[in-house]
Amino acid sequence: MMIALRSDIMRELYKWLNKDISVVGDLLNVPNNRENEFRGFQASHKFFNHRWKENSVEARLIEVNQFWVTFLVDDESQEKISEPMKKLTLSFDNDNERLMVIVDY
């Protein structure tokens, strides 16, 4: 644990443990829609979606370790979503004065 805290991202995430933060999906690296032709008909199908919206979502950071973080997304339903550390970029949500976690696809 002490070695993991040497990481700048881990240290910052621990400061926000059990606090509300903003989470947003980085839509820039979501693959484009595919064009399929089936029996002469053209159709565009969306195969890839990001689980996080491009607008920030309020979530509580409830677990941090060297491999993943877990967010509590909805207090009522107790929905939890975990993401691997390698997909995270940290920023700051100035409007809400809290940490912003940007999640890659």
**Domains of the chain: which residue ranges?**
4-103
How many Å apart are CA 88 and CA 100, to the nearest integer? 10
Q: How many CA atoms lie within 13 A of 76 on its CB side?
A: 0
Q: How many CA atoms lie within 13 A of 14 on its CB side?
A: 12
Taking 70 as the pLDDT cut, the residues of the chain under it are 1-6, 27-54
pTM: predicted TM-score of the whole model, two decimal places: 0.73
Digit-coded pLDDT (tens) for 20-31: 999 988 766 655
Which pLDDT belongs to residue 90?
A: 96
